Structure 1
Amino acid sequence: MDFEPAPLFVRLRHIIRADVRLYLKYEAYNPGGSVKFRPAVGLVRHLESSGALRPGATIIDTTSGNMGIALSVVAKSRGYGFICVTDDKITRHNRALMEAYGAALCILPQSTLRERFAYIEQRMREDAGLVWTRQFTNAMNPRTHEATTARDILGSFERLDYLFAGTGTGGVLAGCQAALARAGRDTRVMAVDAEGSAHFTPTPAPVRRLLPGIGATERSPFLNQAEPFDVTVVPEREAIAACRQVVQQTGWLLGASSGSVVAAIQRYQQHFRSGDIVVGVAADSGERYLDGVYHDGWCQTHFPDAQQRPSPPMAA
């Protein structure tokens, strides 16, 4: 699939202090609707060029949603099958999208990442026609973000003081940090993680995570090559509250992991200097979360204190 998405940066006002300029790199207009289209293309192209992925093959990988949709799009456009191995956090909307593109789903309820890896390994022993894209360990994931996502950021901002990125696979974080460092930028790259995730907490609290797209049950190997300036761990109730605040005050409907990024920026805002430029990577839109993050009944059941959020200070 040949497609080069134009970079889109959204200026968010009234969300953090007024003397700081906040932008979101909005990735929802990529094919497949998220930032994951970029590594999906990179992974598939790499496997094709190496000869590992040939006509008639079926791609398999584990994903909580967006990568599954992106791989479904790329696989369909290139003539491959696709099997998505996921857990029960997948939303009905994401499942329907993948199935519309012809993907087959294997849902392993409450499974860990290692358990899903083991399932894929078993399936590959049984079927030689399966090819694993390995989004969690394939170096083409961060390299693709280094070549595309980071390029957009470098080309759009002559100066950037902070970059906030959610940590799912860690590909965006590692790729952008590598590119910024190579360009000689002194941007402070900030990692955003979910409460209960193992990325930056060796023994995380036993918190059941309901939101897809951020956090993991095992630390990403990509983080071994990334050294974020700081890490902000965001409880899911704060991510939901941030999503709802942004749509109420700006009209932008953000996805769950993007809410985590905004919440992290709000938490960290006292450290910003007047005039700082801050960018957060918004992985997708909120249209896929209408029956969760933006559904009053769901929020009342799971996070009753998340539906309202006080306005942040408007000055330093």
Structure 2
Amino acid sequence: MTGLHASILDTIGNTPVVRLARLAPEGVEIYAKLEAFNPLGSVKDRMALGIINEAERTGALRPGQTVIEATSGNTGIGLAMVCARKGYPLVVVMAENFSVERRRLMRFLGAKVVLTPASEKGSGMVDKARELAATHGWFWTRQFDNEANAQTHSRTTAREILRDFGGNGPDYFVTGSGTGGTLKGVAKVLRAESPATRIILAEPENAPMLASGLAQPFRADGRPESHPHFRPHPMQGWSPDFIPDLTRDAMAAGWVDAVQPVSGAEAIRLARELARQEGIFCGISAGATLAAALVVARTAQPGSRILFMVPDTGERYLSTPLFEQIGQEMDKDERAISESTSLCRFGAPAARPATAAQPIPHPSTQARDFVEAAITSRDQPVVMFALEWCEFSWSVRRFLQDLGVAYRSVDLDSVEMQASASEIRRALHYRTGQPTIPQVFIGGTHIGGATDLLAQHDRGDLLPLLAKAGIQPTDPKALNALGYLPKWQAARPTAQLTSDGV
């Protein structure tokens, strides 16, 4: 997307359609519509903007009113973007079993995230959103039955598909069973303007709510009950434990030509294959939709064009089974590559030219005085000489904050320290014998680097040191201090941990 834009919201939509080269069987063309190209990385950006715009138009949403929705994450992330730009507070209700990356993204964008027990399933988080909206007078976006959801896809997604396929549409359109917004909105337009396009709706094999033909049950007050055929599945964003109104509308209208079941294992496998063979980084639901498209391809006429939706990006799934086989440390092959040359490898000294040990340069008196004044201050007995963007410095900061210990951070890479930073580092090196940053002092006593401080806590030695310096943590809860280290460092055996820094 080129040109100048008045708002991030102007960049939503017009996502690319890409032909698969290696995963498509011979004789048919399979295309992916990559919704990760939306600004917040998913198809739900479209719906979030459409619902908020329509609510503003009708007056259902008042200026400054809090917005609330129940979501597996992508809708909440899209709403967080839209609400941030438009100035609405946002509360998202989310079942606890959805990926933690989504919670953090929403909170980063300024939303409040309220979790519900996994045992209450999708209908539970919807009930909670309904209750909160009624109690506080908030605007509930109702993504599962809000017609603005489907209208957004009729107005944008469907039009883009017709444009990109030359006006006639693909031979097959394959999408997943989520809120029903994409399904209803696109199917309505394709059925009217490209009636030859067959519409395939994929759903989890172990939760065949649509394939069963069993109607969605409702409670006496009109709220949906958990469908008898629902079972937990890995396709986040697909098939809550009830059939949404928008999905039922599309089914009742006869717009769905077939319901294709997809196994969770096949969804995960094909999501990985999309990344490794096509370079398309996506989530589990995209792998599931591709699985359905590949089933369609087996019986499609030669030359058929099949379009499937890729709803989001793989970064939403780092804590899910999609990444469970992706290691953090080097595997056997990677270690073999590392060990094929001598430099910068673990477990063996690097083959560098031998040099004589150099004495530590004598620091200036001014730098020594600055260091001594900092570490002997009674007002701030905990001091860390740090770098603003050093991972180990951040480990210490987060740990001390969580422990409830006030501290002073002398950030040597800050603007105000630029002129004297090198001399102060020389003074620290001269005093401690350690050239790395961070270096921590408590009550004038040198503790060491990040790992030294955290290890002392885990051994039980830190709290007595703090007490000796007259410091009582305000939140002395049980912490795994070494767990605050950067993930690549925390994974190393304790015996190998050193006073790491920069």
TM-score by length of 2: 0.57
Residue of structure 2 in register with 1:259 after alignment: 287
C-alpha distance in structure 2 between counterparts of 1:22 and 1:296, whole Å:
28
Tell me how far 1:225 sits from its aligned partner.
Answer: 2.7
What does residue range 184-203 of structure 1 map to in structure 2 within 5 Å?
184-194=194-204, 195-196=206-207, 198-201=209-212, 202=214
268-277 or 112-121, which moves further after superposition? 112-121
Other-structure match for 1:10: 18
Aligned to 1:116: 125
Give SS of 1:144's match.
Answer: helix
Aligned equivalents of 1:88, 1:233: Cα separation in 2: 26
Q: Is 1:242–2:270 an aligned residue pair?
A: yes
Q: Distance in 1 between matches of 2:236 and 2:292?
A: 17
Q: Which runs of 5+ in 1 are unaligned?
A: 300-316
Alpha carbons 2:173, 2:307 under 8 Å: kept = yes
2:233: which partner in 1? 209
Q: Supply the AA of the counterpart residue of 2:123.
A: R
Partner of 2:32: helix, strand, or coil? strand
Partner of 2:147: 139
Which SS does the other structure have where 1:2 is aligned?
A: helix
Give 1:2 deviation, angstroms.
3.1
Q: 1:161 aligns with which of 171, 174, 178?
A: 171
Q: Which amino acid aligns with 1:55?
A: P
Name the counterpart of 2:349. Answer: none
| 3-state SS of paired residue (1:190) | strand
2:43 to 21, 25, 35: 35
* Partner SS state of residue 240, structure 2: coil
Q: Distance in 2 between matches of 1:229 and 1:215?
A: 18
Show the counterpart of 1:313: none
The separation in 2 between residues aligned to 1:80 and 1:199, in whole angstroms, is 36
Letter in 1 for 2:133: M
Cα distance in 1 for residues equivalent to 2:103 and 2:301: 43
Q: Which sits farther off after the overlay, 138-147 or 261-270?
A: 261-270
Query: Does 2:249 match 1:225?
Result: yes
Equivalent residue for 1:102, pick from 97, 107, 110:
110
- Compute the displacement of 1:216 (Å): 1.6
1:51, 1:114 → 2: CA distance?
27
Structure 2 counterpart of 1:273, which letter?
Q
Give the whole-Å Cα distance in 1 for the aligned partners of 2:232 and 2:249: 28
Task: Work out whether residues 81 and 103 of structure 1, in 8 Å CA contact, stay in contact via their aligned partners in 2.
Answer: yes
Are the equivalent residues in 1 in contact too, given 2:200–2:257 (CA < 8 A)? yes
Alignment partner of 1:28: what SS?
Answer: helix
**1:242 positional shift:** 0.7
Of the three residues 184, 189, 192, the one matched with 1:179 is 189
From the superposition, tell whether residues 293 and 153 of structure 1 become closer, same or farther in structure 2 (CA, over 3 Å). farther
Q: Which moved more, 1:196-205 or 1:18-27?
A: 196-205
Residue 256 of structure 1: how far off its partner (Å): 1.2
Aligned CA RMSD, in angstroms, stands at: 1.8
- Taking structure 1 as reference, are residues 199 and 31 closer, same or farther at Cα in structure 2, changes over 3 Å only? farther
> Which whole-Å CA distance do the structure 2 matches of 1:213 and 1:109 have between them?
17
Equivalent pair of 1:20/1:277 in contact (CA under 8 Å): yes
- Equivalents in 1 of 2:267, 2:112: separation in Å? 30
Paired with 2:173 and 2:77, the residues of 1 have a C-alpha distance of 26
- What is the rounded CA distance, in whole Å, between the counterparts of 1:134 and 1:59 in structure 2? 10
Deviation at 1:196, TM superposition (A): 1.6
Q: How does 1:272-283 map to 2 (within 5 A)?
A: 272-283=300-311
Match of 2:312 in 1: 284
- Three-state SS of the structure 2 residue aligned to 1:22 is strand
Structure 2 unpaired stretches of 5+: 1-8, 215-226, 328-502
Q: Does the aligned pair in 2 maintain the 1:199–1:218 contact within 8 Å?
A: no
Q: In 1, Cα distance between the equivalents of 2:188 and 2:153?
A: 10
Post-superposition shift, 1:224?
Answer: 3.0
Normalised TM-score (structure 1) = 0.89
Residue identity matched to 1:163: F
Tell which has more relative contact order, 1 or 2 (C-alpha 8 A, sep 6+): 1
- Structure 1 pair 216–298 and aligned structure 2 pair: CA distance change class (3 A): farther
Is the contact made by 1:197 and 1:216 (CA closer than 8 Å) also made in structure 2?
no
User: SS of the residue aligned with 1:152?
Assistant: helix
- Contact persistence 1:89–1:211 (CA under 8 A): no
- Give the match's secondary structure for 1:80: coil
Question: Structure 1: which 4+ aligned runs deviate by more than 4 Å?
Answer: 203-206
Match of 2:66 in 1: 58
Please identify the structure whose Cα radius of gyration is greater.
2
1:127 aligns with 2:155: no
User: CA 1:46–1:15 in structure 2 vs 1: closer, same or farther (change >3 Å)?
Assistant: same
Q: In the alignment, what sits opposite 1:89?
A: 97
Rounded to whole Å, the distance in 1 between the matches of 2:282 and 2:194 is 31
- Alignment-derived partner of residue 296 in structure 1: 324
